[in-house]
Structure formats: C-alpha cells, structure tokens
Amino acid sequence: MGAFKAVAFDYDGTLFDTRPAIVHSIQRTFENAGRPVPPLEDIVRTIASGAALPDTFLILDRVLRQQPATLQDRIKTYRAIYLAEGMPLLNPFAGVHNVLRQLRDDCIKCIVISNKGIAAIERSLAIADLTSFIDMVLADAPGMPRKPDPRLLTDHVLPKFAGLRNQDILMVGDTEADIHFAKATGMACCWAAYGFGDAERCRALKPEYEIAGIEELPAIIASPA
C-alpha cells in the first residue's frame, strides 16, 4: 500500500511551464497602464516566490518605487492579456500527461491547488487534454483563500473526499508558498526542483521529498507507508 491516496499539485512551475506567459503578460500589463516595465530579473524573482497576482503587482510597484495603481483593474487586464496572448506560450512539462494518467490508473486522486485564476488553468488543462485526470481544481476566485492558507485544505478539499486525511495527501509544488502551505496543513511536501522556485530558499524549508522531473513522482507515491 502506498503512502499517499491523493496528490495536490501546484500549477505554475509544477504542471505547466508558464513563465514565458507570465512574464509576457506582466510586461504587457505595465505597458497597457502606461507605467515603466519592471526589470526582467525582478519579474522572474517575484514569480519564483510563488506570490499571488495582487502581491506580485505590489512587489513590482515597490521595485519601481511607484505608488500602487488600482489592483483590480490591473488584475483584470493581466488576465485578459494572459488568455489572449499568453496561452500560446505555455506547455505542460515533459512527462506530465503520462504521470497523471498513471496516477489515475492507480486510483490516486489528483487535485490542482493554485493562486492562479481558474479560467486560465481550466482552459490550459483542456487544451493539453489533461482535464480527465484532475479530480478538483482550486484557484483564485472571489472568497477563495490563497496558499498558504490552510483553509484551502480544511474547508474545500477534505469535505469533498470522504475519508481523506491531510496525511494521505502529498503536496507537490515548486515555490516557498507551496512548502509553507504543506507545513501549515500537515501534508508532506515534494519540492519540484525543475520549476521556478529559488533552490536555496526552498530547500531551507526542508520539504520531505524533492524531484528533478515529474516522472520521478510515481515512485514516491508508491513507496510504502
């Protein structure tokens, strides 16, 4: 019997290589607002932290030493640009389709938990023919808490899956936000080293597992409890 009955996947940098789409959409959002575009290295560093979109804009405003613009307007603009121009720039990481199919065949529940807007996630899963492998998607929406808030697990995941406990779920993610979320909920964490997170900062948080590619995940899931 394996150690885990479910896997909670982050999305950006874990299932999909979305960095080109995110960088492009952030740059275009600043341009659209007539504001200076933050340096690329600061955009990449902010993405690596796993910050939610509102926090991303606030962080980049501080980088530019500018007064924050209206967040809701920029979030709306960003998401429109992402859907129109960013989607062609993203792809699932190599091996994602095979791993998700294997987990489904092994009766492992697969959940996506992300601070990203839900429309972009659901559209990309459909385009990549991955929707059928995912049992639940939790993403940024009105009233929905964001990682690392443990209510994502306690109020939304566990009530949906009868008998599932936090110790039955493996959190797989690439940033500090994912590891903090796992720690806050009592889930074991597998750090996706191939993603966007800062290696030194993520390893310092001591996730229980680390993978260099998603194809390494099934062996962890199948390990004895």
167/125 Cα distance (integer angstroms):
27
Largest CA distance in the chain: 57
Is the pLDDT reported for residue 225 higher than 70? Answer: no
Residues of the chain with pLDDT > 90, as a percent, come to 85
What's at 189, amino acid-wise?
C
Query: Mind listing the pLDDT tens digit for each residue in 104-148?
Result: 999 999 999 999 989 999 999 999 999 999 999 999 888 899 999
Encoded tokens for 167:
């110790």
Query: Mind listing the pLDDT tens digit for each residue in 29-69?
Result: 999 988 899 999 999 999 988 888 999 999 999 988 876 66
- Strand 91-92 vs strand 16-17: parallel, antiparallel, or unpaired? antiparallel
Determine the 3-state secondary structure of 171 from DSSP.
strand
Task: Kindly state the average pLDDT of the residues 201-216.
Answer: 98
pTM of the model: 0.90
Buried b / exposed e across 76-112, counting CB within 10 Å, b at 16+?
ebbbebbbeebeebbebbeebeebbebbeeeebbbbb
